[in-house]
Amino acid sequence: SREFLQKDRTTAGIRKQVVKQSLSLLESLADEGDVTSKDDDEEDAEETTRNRYLEFWGQFGRILKEGVHFEHGERERIAKLLRYSSSAGEELTSLADYVERMQDGQESIYFVTAESHSAAENSPHIEGLRARGYEVLYMTDTVDEWVVEALSEFDGKKLVSAAKGALDLPESDEEKEQKEERAGKFSGLIDAMKESLSETVKDIRLSDRLTDSPACLVGEQNQLSPHMARLMKANNQP
């Protein structure tokens, strides 16, 4: 029976070896980088360059992400194989490359979840991060937020959502003084808004997330993002 085979030691051993060998193959492809080949069908036999790992990622990246949850013992290896688009440019990036590009004083890996690349790129939640030169990962796959729950950090750097909780960005003494001045200047307005919206929102505060937008909604640290909440609601519909 299926249940018997799942508990069989031989089957478990085979499964473990298949996972290890598959990851080894993917790691070799990821390290291989660009592969140059000739297309004999072209009249001039022009050389074309392709990245075989990115071809794999385009087809099966979402399934590989799920391994972060299901293959606890290989989580670190799988994390190195993940690829995301980001504010750094058009090419997909690995978490390791992100860490190498981190700004001096930056302690976290920042990301934003959204339904599309365009929505992530134009999210008001990342305005302050981009103004400081911090790279932001764009997580637009339906499984990304679920994956991040299992992958809380990479290479000692915490993964932090730009749309949840307080970002606690580094501040100079001058920036702290300016923030305190703004807090005093707008205290009356904030108190009035808190009273008016007390049944709708939990709190209202000045934010260092924004540079151009007047306001944004922020969830608590362990709360589902609006994007994930919409997906779950849609899946529960008859």
Look up residue 20 and give its amino acid: K
pLDDT of residue 151: 92
Q: What is the pLDDT of residues 27-45, one digit of tens each?
A: 999 987 644 444 555 544 3
Mean pLDDT over residues 159-179, rounded?
83
**Angle of helix 9-32 relative to helix 52-70, nearest 10 degrees?**
140
Q: What is the pLDDT of residues 110-126, one digit of tens each?
A: 999 998 999 999 999 99
- At residue 204, φ and ψ (nearest 5 deg) are -135, 130
- Global confidence as pTM: 0.82
Q: What is the pLDDT of residues 85-114, one digit of tens each?
A: 999 988 999 999 999 999 988 999 999 999
Longest pairwise C-alpha distance within the chain: 73
Classify 87 as helix, strand or coil.
coil
Whether the Cβ atoms of residue 65 and residue 118 lie closer than 8 Å to each other: no
Determine if residue 107 is left, alpha or beta; phi over 0 gives left, psi from -120 to 50 gives alpha, anything else beta: alpha
pLDDT of residue 238: 46
- At residue 50, φ and ψ (nearest 5 deg) are -145, 160
Q: Which two tokens stand for residue 26?
A: 């993917």
Q: Which two tokens stand for residue 178?
A: 């300016």
Whether the Cβ atoms of residue 96 and residue 79 lie closer than 8 Å to each other: no
pLDDT of residue 31: 87
Cα distances (Å, whole numbers) of residue 132 to 106, 187, 209, 210 = 10, 26, 10, 11
Is residue 161 scored above 70 in pLDDT?
A: yes
Runs of H (alpha helix) within the chain: 2-7, 9-32, 52-70, 75-81, 95-100, 117-121, 127-131, 144-150, 173-185, 187-196, 226-236
Look up residue 34 and give its amino acid: D
Range name among 9-23, 109-123, 145-159, 164-178 with the lowest pLDDT average: 164-178
Question: Nearest to residue 216, comparing CAs of 154, 167, 178?
Answer: 167
List Cβ neighbours of 176 (8 Å cut-off, separation of 6 or more). none
Question: Nearest to residue 95, comparing CAs of 49, 126, 55, 139?
Answer: 139
